[in-house]
Amino acid sequence: MPDERMLTCMYAIVDYSAMKLNMPPLYPVIYRDIAAIVETACKERLTFDQQAAIAYGTTVEVLNEKFTLLPCRFGTFLRNEKAVLQILQQQYSVYRKKLEELRGKQEFGLKILSEKSVWKHNANDKKQWKDGKEYLLQKFHDYQAGEGRKQVAQRAVDIIHEELKKLSSMNVKNAEISGHVVFSGNYLVEKKTESFFCSKVEALQGTYPELKFLLTGPWPPYNFAAGD
């Protein structure tokens, strides 16, 4: 009789053909040459806070050093091992194909930020205006100048993205950007070309000093693990 108080927490689906796991309390649920790396967890002891999410991510990173893997999202629980095995059986070909695509590759995240001045001209904010017309004309002029700078920044971002696309196997450009962030994207890069990719980002930063680059990684391939 299954213990209703227990759940099976999934960390990742891995290629289990070459390496074996020895990381208790984690253990593999194996189906053919793939495995789900799981842990049994007591429902009453589960916590869902920032620390737990970071711990989960750290574990996935350790697994990523050993295996080609598809990271699962934090909070992925199944009723028991049987349910895990069923998922592996049903999705085997999808997972196998994805694992092949991701073999020997890691993810890098890039955010590009601009100073506020790129978007908005504030130089006249404190000026006293002679009349309403002068105020509106100046505002219109500021708006036009801001739009011009925005277009320049956008062109730069497009060039940067095109350059980095050439060095990656896959990429995703995040649509949601706001505030100072003018670009957010992720690149799947072969391990053997990682340092070249990073030096290219550094070189691009040198070319566009008015933009601030935030490169993070290598990460497990979170942005490239989901099915088509």
Q: What is the contact surface with other proteins in residues (CB under 8 A)?
A: 7, 10, 12-13, 46, 48-50, 53-54, 56-57, 60, 70-79, 83, 87, 109, 176, 178, 214, 216, 219-220, 222-223, 225-227
User: Least Å distance between CB 86 and other proteins?
Assistant: 8
Smaller CB separation from other proteins, 108 or 156? 108
Smaller CB separation from other proteins, 121 or 211? 211
Task: Find all residues with CB under 8 Å of 162, minimum gap 6, and list them.
Answer: none
Tokens found for residue 219: 């990460």
Smaller CB separation from other proteins, 12 or 121? 12
Position 104, amino acid: G
Smaller CB separation from other proteins, 137 or 226? 226
Task: Find all residues with CB under 8 Å of 164, minimum gap 6, and list them.
Answer: 110, 171, 185, 187, 197, 200, 201, 204
Smaller CB separation from other proteins, 204 or 224? 224
Residue 221's nearest CA partner among 97, 109, 112 is 109
User: Least Å distance between CB 8 and other proteins?
Assistant: 10
Side-chain half-sphere CA neighbours of 202 within 13 A? 6
User: Least Å distance between CB 43 and other proteins?
Assistant: 9
The 8-class DSSP code of residue 74 comes to T
User: Least Å distance between CB 1 and other proteins?
Assistant: 19
Angle, alpha carbons 85-86-88 (nearest 5°): 65
User: Least Å distance between CB 21 and other proteins?
Assistant: 18
